[in-house]
Chains A and B, each alone.
Chain A
């Protein structure tokens, strides 16, 4: 059986390429989110698995301050969305939010925010961060707007993993549509290399990129044990 190995330098090259310009890309997507969802602001927080954050990008500077509030205060929809792996959709901050977030709620309302929608950026247990959408008027996102918000969240996941912009919303279904095999491959590589799941995702994508093969093919090889990553990893 052919066992292919991924050289360390491929991964390193990938990683340096990945980090260049990510923040700018995310800021651009935040501006798009504001426009598409009739929002007053949008922000992305990239978070480590322990929940310690690093604010990454926002549509504008006042939104950046609002986005940082929940980390200053240690509570808020973004933190809950990250912890639970679910979106947290607060269509009216005047309706019960104060008991849930006693510090955060009055603080963002002072800043004029009336509704917050937080979408986790994640692929399974690989958690990258949260997209927050703010509105100055109460009211739910429509079904179409929700669909768009999830699409933007998917786009941001891809941006964070790849550090490159995709052609646009709707063209990044590859990860989400490949189904079981890609996800199983992620778990396998995580164990092979003894690394966090998120890094395993990056490794697999790096290999697909470096070998110019579709992600689905690489995943199938990993699951079939034709390809493994542990042999030359120090």
Chain B
């Protein structure tokens, strides 16, 4: 059974290509990729991790907050499919979480309790280099066949090429500069979530939605709005109405 929707797939490749020619923002790109990849596969969510310069995986984007936690716990516990895919440079496919406790003693029970049944993880790689991992988490029985695996891996590869493109057309330092900038932008986003949660007396998750929605409505970048929130909150209008 082919799980991945071909039409949605065609659109996402176009969108990825479009992002790459546009002025490039790593955080936007990764968030888009996570959202679209999740949209490709029924009952699945997607999270993205990238390695920093010390080769430690860092959380970058997720299609929803639950998945973000799944990724963060993998990093904290050093246990889980995304770490395996990153270490081995090979995809982890069709892992049944209910029978995976031996393989991932901490991750598997946690993910099962969070309502997930299956997991797949794909290395973000280009030639010999692995720069991160993409996790696909299914709440249903999302069984991938060989064609699915190839398609999702191709998507991960395209993303890796996108991330590394600047390196080939410019100089080796650019990716490092971008990646570190993006890692820091992730922190700014969390700080902004806290600031908005406090200002509006809402949860941090609700705060994230406010920030995202405002960025979309005003056609600005998430990282740009987040920075404004923590450096000059009073310059922003009421996010609930503006």
- Listed in ascending order, the chain A residues whose CB lies under 8 Å from chain B are 49, 84-91, 120, 122-126, 140, 143, 146-147, 149-151, 177, 179-180, 183-192, 197, 223
Q: A124-B184, A187-B230 are in contact. Are A89 and B196 (CB under 8 A)?
A: no
How many of B's residues come within 8 Å of A, CB to CB?
38
Decide: A197 and B230 in contact? CB cutoff 8 A: yes
B226 — nearest CB in chain A belongs to which residue?
A125
Decide: A86 and B190 in contact? CB cutoff 8 A: no
Q: A179-B72, A190-B230, A197-B231 are in contact. Are A147 and B55 (CB under 8 A)?
A: yes
Decide: B195 and A188 in contact? CB cutoff 8 A: yes
Decide: A86 and B231 in contact? CB cutoff 8 A: no
Decide: B54 and A124 in contact? CB cutoff 8 A: no
Decide: A191 and B198 in contact? CB cutoff 8 A: yes
List of A residues within 8 angstroms of B230 by Cβ:
124-125, 187, 190, 197
- Listed in ascending order, the chain B residues whose CB lies under 8 Å from chain A are 52-55, 59, 68, 72, 75-76, 171-173, 176-178, 180-181, 184-185, 187-188, 190-199, 204, 226-227, 229-231, 233
Tell me the minimal C-beta distance from A88 to chain B in angstroms: 7
Tell me the minimal C-beta distance from A94 to chain B in angstroms: 13
Q: A180-B190, A190-B195 are in contact. Are A147 and B53 (CB under 8 A)?
A: yes
- Which of the residues B54, B75, B194, B231 comes within 8 Å of A147, measured between beta carbons? B54
Q: What is the CA–CA distance of A140 and B173 in the complex, to the nearest angstrom? A: 8
Decide: B176 and A124 in contact? CB cutoff 8 A: no
Decide: A188 and B59 in contact? CB cutoff 8 A: no
List of A residues within 8 angstroms of B184 by Cβ:
85-86, 120, 122, 124
